[in-house]
Structure 1
Amino acid sequence: MGGRGAPDATRMLVVAVVGVMVAAAAVLCPAPAAAGKLGKQAKALVAVKAALHDPGNALWDWDLKFGNDPCHWNMVTCHEGQIQELSMTNKNLSGTLSPAIGKIRSLRYLLLHQNAISGPIPDTIGRMKLLEVLDLSNNHFSGSIPSTLGNLANLQYLRLNNNSLSGPIPESLATDALMIFNLDVSFNNLSGHRPAFRTWNVFFEGNPFLSDIGSESIAAPVAPKDVKEEDLQFMSKSIFMLLVCIAIGCSLVAVVTGAVLFWKRRQRERVFAVADVSVHHDPEGCLGHLKQYSFQEMRMATNNFSQRNILGEGGYGIVYKGDLPDGTTVAVKRLKDHDSVVGDDQFHTEVEVISLAVHRNLLHLNGFCVANNERLLVYPYMPNGTVASKLKECVDGEPALDWAKRKRIALGASQGLLYLHEQCDPKIIHRDIKASNVLLDEYLEAVVADFGLAKLVDHWMSHVVTSVRGTIGRIPPEYYLSGHASEKTDVFCFGLLLIELVTGRSTLELHENEFDKGGIIELAKELLEQNKLSMFVDRKLGSNYDSAELEEMVQIALLCTMYRSCHRPRMSEIVKMLEGGDGVAEKWQAMKDIEEPNPDSSSEFVCIGINYDVDECNSIELQAVELSGPR
């Protein structure tokens, strides 16, 4: 017995030492746990790929032979070792979406729109509790909308439009997913009633079997049982007085509104008279100089709005390529936000005013179509697509847009915006300037397009207060926080357009570990100060750019994206800077150290505007840079 005790003690000591070593390794080297989690997510992505058909081999590196870290795989974006985004837009994918997608619990953005994916929407998506944006639009998904999507407490944008979904809209989306800001289920085969959502940005059209009758969103208040009779009488009198006050207030508002509308109508009548544009229909189906098409003509031109004819999609409409009987190729935009058009008269008036903005750098409106609740706009077809798509292209190993072409695009877009802001009456605020909304004609001339969010503003108004709409990540701070939209809203977005032209990036979001002190604007500022802009410029350009011009363009971009709107230049000033570059460096030196506002300050947007050019003439006296009829 005593002889066996020593080996047992030795064995126990060895086991104890090994245990301590394992414990120490677990404390000092926690990475395998994280690697294990990413390994599971990598396997999930491999399963997702297996269920898809990928003729373009877009998912070529979704393979475990490339390792267990999917953060380095194509179209996968991570943050701090967690998968945050899958962006597989317009990749010609078909097949089905595997339920394994639900295993990626850290996902915040799932973007699969403009493919040909079919089959049901996996109910496992409801397990991704951090999901904020889910875009499955313009696919071939069928079956019902999973009720589990109501479990997504952080979901803000849900787009399921242009699929083949059927059945009812889950009530849970309205009652449980309370963060939803934008919901689009249009153009499916949904049936049943429409739940009452807490947001106005809900689009149901194109579902002929969907009932208009929805559940009530606000229940009527019921008096507690222990309330005294005299209290109820007092409450009744108070409510009566409140209703009287509201009625009087509404009457005053109606009078004032009527006076303002009358004045604006007179003003616009003068505009139409000057432009010699008739606002009446003629026997040949025209409205002024615009042609009015029938819905049947538009259906035939676009091959019944075939998905194969889709040129692009924005938040307010899908653009189709169309061929008219006379051989003319056009772009037909089918508007989705029908509820915002109050009657044909208002629609015609807005079309007329926008059509008055005739400039070589603005997309010209050829005609329109009004049929029942359909609203379509007909534009010339732009053969070179958008700036965003062209920035990705290479020809014989060289970028399709060299540095000189990018400079010309920047100048052309600024001239178009200058015309909208300072030479139109009423002036027009675009509100969604970006590379994907700037088209290129046959000569690669910039043509500002997509006026889906445009606002008409009288020249005496400094801004308008509207619901916040635009592209996520490109909304200026004053617009996002207060709803104040002005010309400086467009200036901010134009600054980001310049950054797109410089970097060639398809998204302005930074890559993991690229920069930890802010976003792309802060990165540009730091690289400018460190004289390292060569790290910022599009790699496709190589060294084929002018360093001085690059520095000036980045400086202009930073001036345009100043936090306070009054610190940003006007478009007339931007045009001058892009044309000659005189004084750009001095203007940036004067502005670069302006202190950022305290987010908690109540005077956040109160500041004194900066005069970039003391010799600047009154904007009303400016002449159009160049007007042209073709567009």
Structure 2
Amino acid sequence: MMMELWRLLIISILVFSPSFINGDTDQSDASALNVMFSSMNSPPQLTGWTASGGDPCGQSWKGVTCSGSRVTQIKIPNLGLTGSIGFQLMSLTSLTDFDISHNNFGGTVPYNLPPNLQRLNLAGCNFNGAVPYSISTMKPLVHLDLSQNQFNGQLNVDFSQLTSLSNINLANNALTGDLPQTMSSLTNLKTLNVQNNQFTGTIDVLGDLPLENLNIANNHFTGWVPRQLQNINIQKDGNSWSSGPAPPAPPGSHANHHKSGNHGKSSDSLSSGDGKSGIGPGAIVGIILAIVVVVAIVGFILFKRRIRRPSPDVEKVDIHKPFVAPASNDVEGKPEYMELKSVHSSSSINTTTLDTVPAVVLKPPPLDRNKSFDDEDLSNKPVRPIVTKIPTPVPENVKSYSIADLQMATGSFSVENLIGEGSIGRVYRAQFDDGKVLAVKKIDSSVLANHPEDFTEIVASISKLHHPNVTELVGYCSEHGQHLLIYEFHKNGSLNDFLHLDDEYSKPLTWNTRVKIALGSARALEYLHEVCSPSVVHQNFKSENILLDVELNPHLSDCGLANLLPNANQAINHNACAPEVADSGQYTLKSDVYSFGVVMLELLSGRKPFDSSLPRAEQSLVRWATPQLHDIDALTKMVDPALEGLYPVKSLSRFADVIALCVQPEPEFRPPMSEVVQALVRLVQRANMSKRTVGNAGRQSESTDTNDSVN
């Protein structure tokens, strides 16, 4: 009998042990799914999911597939999910398939996505902002679908390591700029859909890819469709293609060596054919000989002219060295230019002035293409030196860093040190050998490429901004075509994180702290608008750009970078900007005041400027809240539930009065920031005399001291 019991016990262990092992979910995976469930507002349709604890692999959570103890797939499309997708997804290192398509999330995509995905499907989720740069590190990625969202700005993804990608769908967004040159690395790409965006430039970068299906319709592409792509399944209407035959590819280009295969005949086969087309060997030899003769004649004429031209004022130049004329706006450091050694006494140039110029160069006179050389004897023209632009000096209080220093401090700009991503670049945490921690903003090269100002001018301008509530510029870097700004680091992140991200480690902001943040932010804008000369319009005032230090004092970031921002008509979330900006794209001091009022509404209500998960009438924060700002009963119902009723009622009412002034639709009726600051100071002073607050059930309770609000 005893023997039978032992056998039964052993059989039970053997039968049930596999499921027990599979059910023991890795703790980091379980925690990531807990946070994700809470961030999605704990939807009941996700059966089995919980906000804490639980066993995703052992309890068959809806849409979750495991291998052993690790989560490998999350597929939860078309479930009407809202909220956000959490901020711990990076710990899902075994996840290969992530499909949350066709839900109602909205907002931006967190940058810390699972790192080892093979399939990523975020289609149809109302996401906006920039496409996450962290996609660049997903080396195993095969399928990427970001279609039917509201992604905007440049496609700042580095495709150089994504050589496994076979299918990319970016259709129906608002992406702008040229296609990234790194797309040329996508050697396995079969299908690319980018229709219904605002892409510009040519599609030459796609010419050598093994594409079978390509949809580039309804963009702003120009130039010609590469010949290699003309025989595939392609949709290209709705662009500004050049008319006429395409120019021949330059010698040695990829187009001349493109393989055949899916694209029909190769370049070689097209040039040979059946003898009815192409150029024979004899013709090629004749053309080459003709070119040689023409070049020799032109060279002899130019040689004779150079001999006749008097040049007593310049140093002799080796006539056998070919002259190369660089672009007129790029003359510094060009060896082909001759340095001016002396100036003739009859010249109108003041030689004492030239002594102060660091580099003076000679430039050939501009060539009028409508005249022949015989129309005007260039040798009789006086030599006119062109003075290069003196670079704007950078103040001594701003340190110049090297790329090597910043790479060491940021771990080669690793994803682990990525702390933010915006419309002009990404921000990294940098820890230096001396223990100092700073924030490094790496500006996208495409942003400065189309910008007329010199980077050092931007640095010099920002370095003049000094205020306790403005993030301080510490240094900069400009090497090898890279442009970076180094700021002081604030470990508590942004106001947006505190208000809108669920984090078990951070406590809700008290009423006093919210007033302090509003007042400090108002003082920052007052400084930019009314102290700086000329006035500085921020243009991007939002909770994401209000950084909090260890004492939760606010520091406004991105000041002085307005000219680098994309145009307002490219912005997706018009609910956070002033009506006149949404209509005309014109920013003013008063549009900053409006944006400040929106942030105050976030502080009061705890809501986002726009939240697609709410009922339609409540999605736009300003539209929903404005009619209720002067109704005290409605106002108390608007207050962030995280405050648990602990706030001075009169302080709340006066706070709402300031908001109502700031978010008026007519800009001329909005107050200047100095008046806003005074109103908030009076609010704080009066609040200090009142110690009564309304509790959750209408009870009276004591408020905390508000003296720190005026600091």
TM-score category of the 2 structures, normalised to the smaller one: 0.5 to 0.7
Contact kept, 8 Å, 2:429 with 2:440, in 1: the verdict is yes
Which of 502, 525, 546 does residue 648 from structure 2 map onto? 546
CA distance in 1, matches of 2:454, 2:587: 21
Which of 613, 629, 647 does residue 528 from structure 1 map onto? 629
Give the counterpart letter for 1:555 in structure 2: D
Work out the number of aligned pairs and report it.
Answer: 453
> Residue 429 of structure 2 aligns to a residue in which SS?
strand
Question: How far apart are residue 333 of structure 1 and its match?
Answer: 1.1
CA distance in 2, matches of 1:442, 1:307: 24
More divergent stretch after superposition (391-400 vs 331-340): 391-400
Mapping 1:191-202, distance limit 5 Å = 191=185, 199=198
Give the counterpart letter for 2:175 in structure 1: F
Mapping 1:352-371, distance limit 5 Å = 352-371=460-479
Instruction: Confirm or deny that 1:166 pairs with 2:268.
Output: no
| Alignment-derived partner of residue 242 in structure 2 | 220
Cα separation, partners in 2 of 1:545 and 1:373, compared to 1, 3 Å:
same
| Alignment-derived partner of residue 607 in structure 1 | none
Contact kept, 8 Å, 2:520 with 2:554, in 1: the verdict is yes
Give the counterpart letter for 1:88 in structure 2: I
> Residue 543 of structure 1 aligns to a residue in which SS?
coil
Give the counterpart letter for 1:411 in structure 2: L
CA distance in 1, matches of 2:158, 2:169: 19
More divergent stretch after superposition (539-548 vs 382-391): 382-391
Instruction: Confirm or deny that 1:407 pairs with 2:404.
Output: no
Q: Alpha-carbon deviations, 1:434-493, whole Å to 9, x = none?
A: 222111223322110124752499xxxxxx986544856312221122111111221111
CA distance in 1, matches of 2:99, 2:572: 32
CA distance in 1, matches of 2:554, 2:159: 33
Cα separation, partners in 2 of 1:478 and 1:221, compared to 1, 3 Å:
same
> Residue 442 of structure 1 aligns to a residue in which SS?
coil
Cα separation, partners in 2 of 1:109 and 1:163, compared to 1, 3 Å:
farther
| Alignment-derived partner of residue 666 in structure 2 | 564
Contact kept, 8 Å, 1:141 with 1:164, in 2: the verdict is no
Cα separation, partners in 2 of 1:535 and 1:60, compared to 1, 3 Å:
same
Give the counterpart letter for 1:138 in structure 2: S
Q: Alpha-carbon deviations, 1:314-365, whole Å to 9, x = none?
A: 2222211112233322111111254434689711111111221211111111
| Alignment-derived partner of residue 113 in structure 2 | 115
CA distance in 2, matches of 1:291, 1:437: 23
Instruction: Confirm or deny that 1:504 pairs with 2:498.
Output: no
> Residue 241 of structure 2 aligns to a residue in which SS?
coil
Question: How far apart are residue 407 of structure 1 and its match?
Answer: 0.8
CA distance in 1, matches of 2:37, 2:126: 27
TM-score (norm 2): 0.53
> Residue 535 of structure 1 aligns to a residue in which SS?
helix
CA distance in 2, matches of 1:414, 1:203: 45
Cα separation, partners in 2 of 1:110 and 1:576, compared to 1, 3 Å:
closer
Contact kept, 8 Å, 1:169 with 1:195, in 2: the verdict is no
CA distance in 1, matches of 2:416, 2:111: 14
Structure 1 residue runs without a partner (length 5+): 1-48, 75-80, 224-277, 458-463, 585-631
CA distance in 1, matches of 2:629, 2:420: 35
Instruction: Confirm or deny that 1:435 pairs with 2:537.
Output: no
> Residue 441 of structure 2 aligns to a residue in which SS?
strand
> Residue 552 of structure 1 aligns to a residue in which SS?
helix
Give the counterpart letter for 1:363 in structure 2: T
Contact kept, 8 Å, 2:662 with 2:671, in 1: the verdict is yes
Q: Alpha-carbon deviations, 1:202-230, whole Å to 9, x = none?
A: 999xx9x99x998555223579xxxxxxx
Question: How far apart are residue 511 of structure 1 and its match?
Answer: 4.5
Which of 60, 63, 87 does residue 90 from structure 1 map onto? 87
Contact kept, 8 Å, 2:116 with 2:140, in 1: the verdict is no
Q: Alpha-carbon deviations, 1:297-324, whole Å to 9, x = none?
A: 1111112112222222222222111122
Q: Alpha-carbon deviations, 1:372-423, whole Å to 9, x = none?
A: 2211111111132222223469999994531112111111111111111122
Mapping 1:70-81, distance limit 5 Å = none
Contact kept, 8 Å, 2:142 with 2:164, in 1: the verdict is yes
CA distance in 2, matches of 1:454, 1:335: 13
TM-score (norm 1): 0.59
Contact kept, 8 Å, 1:429 with 1:455, in 2: the verdict is no
Question: How far apart are residue 97 of structure 1 and its match?
Answer: 5.5
Give the counterpart letter for 1:220 in structure 2: S
> Residue 377 of structure 1 aligns to a residue in which SS?
strand
Question: How far apart are residue 288 of structure 1 and its match?
Answer: 3.7
| Alignment-derived partner of residue 257 in structure 1 | none
Mapping 1:169-318, distance limit 5 Å = 177=171, 179-182=173-176, 191=185, 199=198, 218-221=240-243, 287-318=395-426
Which of 476, 483, 497 does residue 578 from structure 2 map onto? 476
Cα separation, partners in 2 of 1:566 and 1:84, compared to 1, 3 Å:
farther
Q: Alpha-carbon deviations, 1:221-254, whole Å to 9, x = none?
A: 579xxxxxxxxxxxxxxxxxxxxxxxxxxxxxxx
Of Structure 1 and Structure 2, the greater helix share is in: 1
Give the counterpart letter for 2:485 in structure 1: L
Cα separation, partners in 2 of 1:537 and 1:96, compared to 1, 3 Å:
same
> Residue 516 of structure 1 aligns to a residue in which SS?
helix
| Alignment-derived partner of residue 428 in structure 2 | 320
Give the counterpart letter for 1:161 in structure 2: V
Contact kept, 8 Å, 1:393 with 1:399, in 2: the verdict is no
Contact kept, 8 Å, 1:111 with 1:136, in 2: the verdict is yes
Contact kept, 8 Å, 1:112 with 1:135, in 2: the verdict is no
CA distance in 2, matches of 1:201, 1:549: 51
Cα separation, partners in 2 of 1:438 and 1:203, compared to 1, 3 Å:
farther
Question: How far apart are residue 545 of structure 1 and its match?
Answer: 0.8
Question: How far apart are residue 86 of structure 1 and its match?
Answer: 6.1
Cα separation, partners in 2 of 1:121 and 1:453, compared to 1, 3 Å:
farther
Question: How far apart are residue 165 of structure 1 and its match?
Answer: 5.4
Q: Percent identity?
A: 23
Give the counterpart letter for 1:354 in structure 2: I
> Residue 551 of structure 1 aligns to a residue in which SS?
helix
Cα separation, partners in 2 of 1:479 and 1:169, compared to 1, 3 Å:
farther
Which of 42, 58, 71 does residue 35 from structure 2 map onto? 58
RMSD: 5.0
Question: How far apart are residue 184 of structure 1 and its match?
Answer: 9.7
Larger Rg: 2
Give the counterpart letter for 1:480 in structure 2: A
CA distance in 1, matches of 2:655, 2:535: 26
More divergent stretch after superposition (335-344 vs 539-548): 335-344
Contact kept, 8 Å, 1:432 with 1:471, in 2: the verdict is no
Give the counterpart letter for 2:645 in structure 1: S
Cα separation, partners in 2 of 1:203 and 1:336, compared to 1, 3 Å:
farther
> Residue 311 of structure 1 aligns to a residue in which SS?
strand
Question: How far apart are residue 540 of structure 1 and its match?
Answer: 1.9
CA distance in 1, matches of 2:606, 2:125: 33
Instruction: Confirm or deny that 1:141 pairs with 2:138.
Output: yes
| Alignment-derived partner of residue 600 in structure 1 | none
Question: How far apart are residue 503 of structure 1 and its match?
Answer: 2.0
CA distance in 2, matches of 1:565, 1:84: 37
CA distance in 2, matches of 1:434, 1:117: 29
Cα separation, partners in 2 of 1:58 and 1:201, compared to 1, 3 Å:
farther
CA distance in 2, matches of 1:203, 1:376: 28
CA distance in 2, matches of 1:378, 1:530: 45
